[in-house]
Amino acid sequence: MMSLVAPVACRALLEACGRLGLDGNAISKRAGLEPAALGDPEARVPAAIADALWREAYAAARDPRLALHAAEATPPGAYRVLDYLGTTGPTLGDGLRRVAAYFRLIDPRGALRVEASGGEVSLVFAAADGAPLPPPAQEFTLATLLLRARAAAARPWSLLDLSFTFPDPHDDAEYLRVFGARPRFLAERAALTLPREAFLSPVRAPDPELFALLDAHARLLLDRDPAGVDLALRVRAAIAGECPGVRPSLAAVARRMGTSRRSLQRLLEARRTTFERLTLEVRRERAEAFLGQEDVSLAEVSWLLGYSEPSAFTRAFKRWTGRSPIAYRRERRRRPQGGSGVG
């Protein structure tokens, strides 16, 4: 079956070529790309032709960092649903999780996942089939993600780590300019790593109603391929929906998702995760986000996360972070609202 991709990256690539004084029409013709495909927002381009376009563009440009410049040439809103999902959620992390879940709407050959560990959250980019990723794909995807996250965030933050799987090109000036960080090369994975605090921070222009509408629309777009829907994201959303005033249960979440307790458990096991782990992740992330809002009391945070009483929430929070909710909130007040590097 022929793989089709969104034409956004192709348009951005040709825009970058135009800025370099190159003939975009000639490059498109050599790659076999029909110009009409770039003007139709609903169109899809055969993956083989999109790849050919990149090869022809690199041959003509002789710009080793062409992918970074193409990412900079991609305007806000070019990715339509995913762009707006990434910028209208309650927090930056809410948007990034949706972008990861629906990434196959852009290119089914790629996979984007969110990995949280301690005080860090990584956006890991990989090929869906596990094959090695071409360097331009790594550069363009991670640069595009970072530039959009930078624009969406209400406060500046510093990138903790940047890694690529390809060899060191021995010229990191453009990486430093675009990403605000020097990358590690020959790494095990291509990834951006940001502070958990940045992941949980608010966006510039949250719009809960639009966010919910776009989320539902993106799910509908993937209905033709249920395997493409991120199960963990769906379970996390159902857990969050069950939380207020109630301890989420596997049975209740399964009912909310229209499946059985046993079926949901089997699906989670197949993905090497558990309901308990996802519940803990949701509660901890929501707790940290709520504690960052001064107008939400500790009692309200406890109720919003489904704890029977504030003392139970306090004990759980201490297990997660080693600090009480009050101490955590005080520390957040003392932290400077800004940073160097990204932003």
**Sorting pLDDT into bands at 50, 70 and 90, what band is 335?**
low
Side chain identity at 92, as an amino acid letter?
L
Q: Six-digit token pair at 172? A: 């990191």
* CA pair distance 13, 342, nearest whole angstrom: 23
> Which phi and psi angles does 297 have, rounded to 5°?
-75, 165
Least confident of 91-95, 150-154, 290-294: 290-294
Across all residues in the chain, what is the average pLDDT?
86
3-state secondary structure of 20: coil
Q: For the chain, first and last CA: distance in Å?
A: 41
**Sorting pLDDT into bands at 50, 70 and 90, what band is 316?**
very high
Query: Which residue, among 236, 245, 313, 302, has the nearest Cα to 274 in the 3D structure?
Result: 236
Instruction: Kindly tell me if the per-residue pLDDT of 136 is higher than 80.
Output: yes
Query: Which residue, among 6, 211, 243, 178, has the nearest Cα to 90 in the 3D structure?
Result: 211
Q: Give the mean model confidence (pLDDT) for residues 140-144.
A: 96
Residues 6+ apart with CB under 8 A from 37: 7, 10, 43, 44, 45
Q: Give yes or no for a contact between 325 and 314, defined as CB atoms under 8 angstroms apart.
A: yes
The listed range with the strongest mean pLDDT (80-84, 102-106, 147-151) is: 147-151
* CA pair distance 55, 192, nearest whole angstrom: 25
**Sorting pLDDT into bands at 50, 70 and 90, what band is 293?**
confident
The listed range with the strongest mean pLDDT (10-24, 169-183, 291-305) is: 169-183
* Count of residues making up the chain: 343
3-state secondary structure of 63: coil
For the stretch 27-41, pLDDT in tens is 999 999 887 777 665
Which pairs from 89-92 meet CB under 8 Å and 24+ separation?
Answer: 89/203, 89/206, 89/211, 90/202, 90/203, 90/206, 90/208, 90/211, 90/289, 91/199, 91/200, 91/201, 91/202, 91/203, 91/289, 92/149, 92/152, 92/153, 92/198, 92/199, 92/200, 92/201, 92/202, 92/203
Q: Give yes or no for a contact between 77 and 71, defined as CB atoms under 8 angstroms apart.
A: no
Residues 6+ apart with CB under 8 A from 1: none
Element (H, E) at 45: strand 45-46
3-state secondary structure of 46: strand
Instruction: Kindly tell me if the per-residue pLDDT of 224 is higher than 60.
Output: no
For the stretch 45-78, pLDDT in tens is 888 898 999 999 999 998 999 999 999 988 888 8
The residue extents of the domains of the chain are 4-63, 81-199, 230-334
Least confident of 108-117, 217-226, 244-253, 263-272: 217-226
* CA pair distance 292, 189, nearest whole angstrom: 32
**Cα–Cα–Cα angle for 255, 259, 264, rounded to 5 degrees:** 100
25 vs 42, 47, 96, CA distance in Å?
21, 19, 34
For 107-265, strand residue ranges (E) read 110-117, 120-127, 161-163, 190-195
Q: Write the class of the CATH domain 230-334.
A: mainly alpha
Q: What pLDDT sits at residue 2? A: 56
Query: Which residue, among 144, 163, 130, has the nearest Cα to 9 in the 3D structure?
Result: 144
